[in-house]
Amino acid sequence: MLLDMHDQAGAGEPDNFQRLWTPHRMAYIKGENKPTGTGPDDGCPFDAIPKMSDEEGLIVARGEVVYAVLNLYPYNSGHLMVVPYRHVSDYDELDPAELVELSQFTQRSLRALRKAGGAQGFNVGMNLGHVAGAGIAAHLHQHVVPRWGGDTNFMPVVARTKVLPELLRDTRQALADAWS
Ligand SMILES: [Zn+2]
């Protein structure tokens, strides 16, 4: 599942959208140990992250019922996810408060990415279920992937295997500052 720089250099080509959403590249945050359980006690990273500090968990913003977090294995620099605190797999299960704040956080993610990174476009969406390519199907999450022409920007495009912790920390800080 290596993604080399040649791959990244292809960003912006017509097939890019498809490439971005190819299931085998779907992100697993905190990565190596892809959770298979169905409950909060089964190692779900989306349940563990809110218990961490913002810096440790790469959390950009915390809401009442959802939070925004950087993807540890971004498709693009600044790749955010909006996640309900509640361990829920299906969009159909979200309650009204979660639906509203998920939308609000998606909107604020776009704003922060424009402000901090000058994002020119976005891929926004969620994959529900393993068959749809969800890396962590048990806990739904909305992807917000910033795009630039050529996909090169102030936040360097990094390959999945080359994500530097320092870069992620800097990116998180920039987005957290831009959030408010
Ligand atoms: Zn969970």
Average confidence score pLDDT of the chain: 77
Residue 78 near residue 148 (C-beta atoms within 8 A): no
Q: Angle between the 96-117 and 165-179 helix axes, to the nearest 10 degrees?
A: 110
Q: What is the per-residue pLDDT for 152?
A: 53
Residue 135 C-alpha to ligand 1 middle, in angstroms? 12
Residue 115 near residue 12 (C-beta atoms within 8 A): no
**What is the side-by-side order of every strand in the sheet holding 142-147?**
59-62, 66-70, 80-84, 142-147, 121-125
Please, which residues have CB within 8 angstroms of residue 143's CB and are 6 or more apart in sequence? 27, 71, 75, 79, 80, 81, 123, 124, 125, 126, 127
Find out whether 71 is annotated in a ligand binding site.
yes
**Residue range 95-123, pLDDT digits in tens:** 999 999 999 999 999 999 999 988 999 99
141 among known catalytic residues:
yes
Q: Which CATH class is domain 44-179?
A: alpha beta
Residue 29 C-alpha to ligand 1 middle, in angstroms? 12
Q: What is the per-residue pLDDT for 148?
A: 84
In angstroms, rounded to a whole number, what is the distance separating the alpha carbons of residues 166 and 116?
17
Q: What is the per-residue pLDDT for 39?
A: 54
Q: Position 167: which residue type? A: L
Q: What is the per-residue pLDDT for 4?
A: 35
Pick from 82, 55, 49: nearest CA to 67: 82
Residue 121 C-alpha to ligand 1 middle, in angstroms? 29
In angstroms, rounded to a whole number, what is the distance separating the alpha carbons of residues 132 and 118?
30
Token pair in block for residue 152:
């090169």
Residue 124 near residue 145 (C-beta atoms within 8 A): yes
Residue 87 C-alpha to ligand 1 middle, in angstroms? 4
Q: What is the per-residue pLDDT for 41?
A: 55
Which pTM value belongs to this model? 0.73
Find out whether 143 is annotated in a ligand binding site.
yes
Q: Choose, from 79, 87, 139, 141, the residue flagged as catalytic.
A: 141
**Residue range 129-143, pLDDT digits in tens:** 988 888 889 999 999
CA triple 48-52-58, angle to 5 deg: 95
CA triple 175-70-129, angle to 5 deg: 140
Residues of the chain with pLDDT under 50: 1-33, 35, 153-162
Residue 125 near residue 142 (C-beta atoms within 8 A): yes
Residue 84 near residue 98 (C-beta atoms within 8 A): yes
Place of tokens 């720089």: 5
